[in-house]
């Protein structure tokens, strides 16, 4: 695949996810979650679109969440690359 095509595939995958800052008012802490924006939850309390990475769904810093999201995207990209070959 060409570099331009790879970049486009990577960006399309990235558009499917968003990092959210969550404030837990009960303990006064914040954390970050990754959610698949292509899967809308039916109810606001559902976690149908919550993404887990290495058995974690809450990341202490935005940088940790971005690192996990990058690993997720790279893994999906590799899976797509193998499928297309």
Model confidence at 8, pLDDT cuts 50, 70, 90, reads confident
Give the tens place of pLDDT for each residue, 28-49.
Answer: 889 999 999 888 777 666 777 8
Section 55-79 average pLDDT: 93
Question: CA-CA distance, 68 to 57, in Å (whole number)?
Answer: 10
Mean pLDDT for all residues in the chain: 85
* Rounded Cα gap, residues 81 and 84, in angstroms: 5
pLDDT value of residue 44: 63
DSSP output for 17-73: EEEEEEEETTTTEEEEEEEETTS--SSTT--TTEE-BTTBS-BSSHHHHHHHHHHHH
């Amino acid at each position: 695949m060409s570099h331009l095509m790879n970049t486009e595939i990577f960006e399309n995958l990235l558009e499917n996810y968003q990092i959210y800052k969550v404030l837990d008012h009960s303990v006064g802490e914040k954390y970050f979650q990754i959610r698949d924006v292509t899967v809308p939850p039916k109810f606001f309390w559902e976690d149908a679109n919550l993404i887990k990475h290495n058995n974690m769904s809450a990341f202490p810093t935005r940088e940790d969440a971005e690192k996990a999201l990058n690993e997720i995207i790279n893994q999906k990209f590799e899976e797509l690359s193998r499928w297309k070959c």
